[in-house]
Structure 1
Amino acid sequence: LLAPVIKGLGLDIDGHGVVDNPELVWFALLVAVTLQTSFLTPPVGFALFYLKGVCPSGITLLDIYKGVVPFILLQLLGLLVVALFPEVVTWLPSVAYAN
């Protein structure tokens, strides 16, 4: 559904000669990292609620929120790297599938 829109943006991402449609691969990974970040942040925070369900009764949801802050920061750093350096996304497939 979004492929024509992404292609229409005219992004110039290096596919290293191996990756077809590198801008689509980059966008898919950008969406995947964003979704993973949303699983750790309120109001969605599915992972946080699953964790609360298996924790001892003395652990509050606030404790869990405080505990995931470093992981959220790492996710945001990863999202920033993917957004600013799109060639990083296409590098590994180019190495894995090079002849």
Structure 2
Amino acid sequence: MKKERRKFSAGFKAKVAIEAIREQHTVHELAAKYEIHPTQINTWKREFLDNAESVFSKEQSPSKDDSQEKKELYSKIGELQIQVDFLKKVLGK
């Protein structure tokens, strides 16, 4: 029977990576503490350092959720504008 893979949150990965960067404990000590393979800790540390510059970049790329939400809001604005125009005609203004 296969063993299911463990899934770690982004916060947990960042916490472990930061501890590895601090170098107050060896990677093997951290691996024993968090019950993770040392190679995994090194991978998270490398990814953390490689993507660190994105924290300070001025360009924020909108996520897919933001663009979808934006489309929905524009659609709603259009519907409301049509309703306002209709009510103006009906009321004779």
Answer whether TM exceeds 0.5 for this pair: no
Q: Taking CA–CA contacts closer than 8 Å with sequence separation of 6 or more, which of the two structures ends up with the larger relative contact order?
A: 1
Larger radius of gyration: 2
For normalisation by structure 2, the TM-score amounts to: 0.36
For normalisation by structure 1, the TM-score amounts to: 0.34
